[in-house]
Amino acid sequence: MTAETLPPPSASIGPVAWLRTNLFSGPVSSLMTVVIGGLLLALAIAVGQWAVSEARWDVVTRNLRLFLIGQYAADQAWRIWLSLAILSGLTGLSAGVFGRTSRALAIALSAFQALIAGLMALSPVGPLIVTGMVLNAALVWAGLVAGMRRAVPRRGLVIAWLISMPVTFLLLNGLPGTPLPTVSSNLWGGLLLTVLLATVGIILSFPLGVLLALGRRSTLPAVRILSTAYIELIRGVPLVTILFMADILLPFFLPGEIRIDRVTRAMGGITLFSAAYVAENVRGGLQAIPSGQIEAAQALGLSTARINIHVVLPQALRAVIPANVGLFISLLKDTTLVTIIGLMELLGIGRAILAQPESLGAHLEVYVFVGAVFFVLCYAMSQASYRLEHALGVGTR
């Protein structure tokens, strides 16, 4: 006779048990749950009514192109979509080949592009651009499938990413004497400029920060003193100061025939500023490595470079992932400060749109949209960080 398999008791396992333990564990807890739940429900109803019946979302849809690419020439906007297609394809391939965290980023990128396509469908940008965004979102999944079938080797994918960076810059900026006319970087704006500033700052500041952290712990006095002086000097001033110096003072130190555009100067200032904070985060990770491991590696005859590459840095960088991701999220939000040097990033475009006569009084709608975009970007970064921490066992081993 077969024994009957009974389900787990709902009083100790399952949703009912979770509610009883966390929200209704006693009279006071139950009362607070009901009161707070009622307040949140009332707030949600009020916000929903405003968003559906009162908000003037036409301010956003009518100016969606400005929000996305700023004053970038409309007849050259295809170069942005082509750059995005390259990014989408490589992201999908990376997700299929490497999996884990890259897969979460690929799904987030595809979802974000689909969301933008939905917003574009409500704006007067034309069906061609909407179709392009939908195809970009689908390209991520096509790359994911191809990557899972190992259509591209890992080394080739890394090389493709390295090549894509200068190719993307040439597409966006153009090259004199070619079919790609130059588009002044002063016309770059909106979400395009925000993402570019954050991406370049993150990619360049991380290796520079690691080198500064190693330099601060170097046994060579000159290297240690210079690294320490740089870190403390940069961390002692606000980012606004660095941006003003990069925009106003830097041209005075360059020869007359050399001119660096404003966007490049802003990228340099953000990179140099962020690198100092990355260095301090990495230095904390380096100090957490037991000295016995370094002594054991020295006893095996490893050089200082090999000890750092194979023993110290892998553990140190893994330990400071949460701190560095938090720093990079702050860097993304700090890109709004470039408005003070005349660049129109996402928030700056929002302010400019509010100055239009037909947009007067629509402050809440514009700032809600800008805030929602920043929230989506920051949330995607934080979720990718959580997945990476879980995959590497941060805090567990």
Top-confidence residue, 98 or 360 = 360
Among 241-255, 265-279, 354-368, the range scoring the smallest mean pLDDT is 241-255
- For range 123-141, the mean pLDDT: 74
Angstrom distance (rounded) from CA 261 to CA 187: 11
Three-class DSSP category at 188: strand
pLDDT at 91: 83
What is the spatial distance between Cα 300 and Cα 294, in angstroms, rounded to a whole number?
Answer: 10
Q: Which of 19-23, 201-205, 345-349, 354-358 has the lowest mean pLDDT?
A: 19-23
Instruction: Calculate mean pLDDT across residues 110-139.
Output: 75
**What is the average per-residue pLDDT within 84-100?**
80
Count of residues making up the chain: 397
The pLDDT assigned to 126 comes to 65
> What CA–CA distance (Å, rounded) separates 98 from 91?
10
Task: Tell me which residue of 104, 108, 101, 94 sits closest to 146, measured CA to CA.
Answer: 94
Alpha helix (H) residue ranges in the chain: 15-22, 27-49, 58-62, 64-69, 78-98, 101-121, 127-148, 154-173, 190-216, 221-235, 239-244, 262-287, 291-299, 304-307, 313-319, 321-334, 346-354, 363-392
Most confident of 10-24, 33-47, 176-190: 33-47
State residue 175's pLDDT score.
Answer: 80
The dihedral region occupied by 126, where left means phi > 0, alpha psi between -120 and 50, and beta the remainder, is left
The stretch 15-42 carries a mean pLDDT of: 85
Whole-angstrom distance, CA of residue 53 vs CA of residue 276: 48
Mean pLDDT of 226-230: 93
Mean pLDDT of 47-60: 86
- pLDDT confidence band for 211 (50 / 70 / 90): very high
Contacts of 240 (CB under 8 A, 6+ apart): 337, 340
Coarse DSSP helix, strand, coil percentages of the chain, rounded to the nearest 5 percent: 80, 0, 20
Number of C-beta neighbours around residue 329 at 10 A: 18
Kindly report the backbone phi and psi dihedral angles of residue 9, in degrees, each rounded to the nearest multiple of 5, phi listed first.
-65, 130
Measuring CA to CA, which residue among 166, 163, 186, 192 is closest to residue 77? 192
Question: Roughly how many angstroms between the first and final C-alpha of the chain, as a whole number?
Answer: 47
Under the banding of pLDDT at 50, 70 and 90, the label for residue 4 is: low
Across 137-154, average pLDDT: 75
Q: What is the pLDDT of residue 101?
A: 67
If you average pLDDT over every residue of the chain, what do you get? 84
CA distance 86 to 164: 7
- Per-residue pLDDT band for 13 (boundaries 50, 70, 90) equals low
| Residue type (1 letter), 191 | L
| Higher pLDDT pick, 232 / 51 | 232
12, pLDDT greater than 80: no
Give the pLDDT band of residue 1 (cuts 50, 70, 90).
low
Cα–Cα dist 346/356, whole Å: 16
Side-chain-side CA neighbours of residue 306 (13 Å) = 9
pLDDT cut 90: percent of the chain above it: 21
Residue type, 338: V
Confidence tier at 280 by pLDDT (50, 70, 90): very high
pLDDT of res. 65: 85
The yes-or-no verdict on residue 8 having pLDDT over 60 is no
What type of residue is 3?
A
8 A C-beta contact, residue 270 and residue 197: yes
Residue 330 pLDDT grade (very low, low, confident, very high; cuts 50, 70, 90): very high
d(CA 89, CA 277): 32
- pLDDT score recorded for residue 14: 67
pLDDT confidence of residue 36: 93
Closest alpha carbon to 330 in 239, 231, 216, 230: 239
- What is the per-residue pLDDT for 142? 80
Mean pLDDT of 135-152: 75
pLDDT at position 210 is: 93
Between residues 18 and 48, the one the model is more confident about: 48
User: Averaging pLDDT over each range in 70-79, 123-132, 210-219, which range is the top one?
Assistant: 210-219
What dihedral angle (degrees, nearest 10) is formed by the CA atoms of 11, 13, 18, 19?
-30
Asked if residue 169 has pLDDT above 90, the reply is: no
* Mean pLDDT, range 194-218, rounded to an integer: 91
Q: What is the DSSP letter of 344?
A: E
- Residue 184 falls in which region: left (phi positive, over 0), alpha (psi -120 to 50) or beta: beta
Q: Considering the entire predicted model, what is its pTM?
A: 0.85
- Tell me the pLDDT tens digit for each residue of 299-325: 888 888 888 888 888 888 888 888 898
For residue 214, how many other CB atoms are within 10 A of its CB?
Answer: 22
Contact by Cβ (8 Å): 341, 244: yes
Domain boundaries, the chain: 73-182
**CA nearest neighbour of 104 among 389, 334, 373:** 389
